[in-house]
Amino acid sequence: MTSDSSKLSDSVSTVLGSLTRKPSFPLDRRVSPEEERLLLAKFHVVGFVQARLFGPDGKLKQLVEGYNLVTDYGDEHVGERMYLDGQDIVTGMRLGTDSGTAAAKAGAGAAMVAYISASEEALDAVPVGVDKGAGLGWRVPHICTWIAGDVTNSTINEVGLTDETAITDTAGVVGDTVARFVFGSTIDKQSGDSLEVTWNVDFLGA
């Protein structure tokens, strides 16, 4: 994802809950190598965004892709989803025009900065996870399509992944933005164009 520090997909990743220093243990307790390995294990959640702009003739006009940054809320969301059946799932995406605010774990860059009115879009279909192969993790693709006539804007610069239920025509907030991505180049969507954004989320336990 552009300057985002989050990584995902076959190329980049975003790390969740990784220990950055060796934990200390009580002096009266010995820890086995296997136990220590498990304690130091990292669980990776990586997001890779691919935006494809098609002209009225159906031909590809522009491709913008990169790794997104998973927000603090996104970290919490994924963690809680593991043990809370009632935790909201991803419902869709929103588009925006801001290019000057880098994606961030928290604060202003952790939610849509300059929302494009009526750009909220529910997922095209319920995501279906796929096995990337032995030891390579699990991928969940989220796809949204803005068809011709839907959201005509010459300065699309950001996209957010949300779990708001149901998604509404608002900018959203940090508390419902799972991840945010700032495009490396501006997308100019004309009235006859369609825009498809695929947001792959990869999960890999250590």
Q: 131 with 138: CB under 8 angstroms? A: yes
Is residue 9 one of the residues assigned to a domain?
A: no
- pTM for the full model? 0.73
Which amino acid is residue 150, in one-letter code? D
Is residue 122 one of the residues assigned to a domain?
A: yes
Is residue 177 one of the residues assigned to a domain?
A: yes
How far is Cα 147 from Cα 33, in angstroms, rounded to an integer? 54
Is residue 37 one of the residues assigned to a domain?
A: yes
- Detail the DSSP E strand segments found in 32-87: 43-54, 60-67, 69-70
Is residue 4 one of the residues assigned to a domain?
A: no
The label of the residue with tokens 């100019």 reads: 188
Q: Show the domain range for 30.
A: 15-205
How far is Cα 35 from Cα 19, in angstroms, rounded to an integer? 14
Q: How many domains would you assign to the chain? A: 1
Is residue 2 one of the residues assigned to a domain?
A: no
- Tens of each residue's pLDDT in the chain, 206 residues: 444 433 333 332 323 333 334 444 444 455 566 555 544 455 566 778 999 999 999 999 999 999 877 777 776 666 666 655 665 688 999 999 999 999 988 998 999 999 999 999 999 998 888 888 887 777 889 999 999 999 999 999 999 999 999 999 999 999 999 889 999 999 999 999 999 999 988 877 65
Q: 153 with 189: CB under 8 angstroms? A: yes
Is residue 7 one of the residues assigned to a domain?
A: no
Is residue 78 one of the residues assigned to a domain?
A: yes
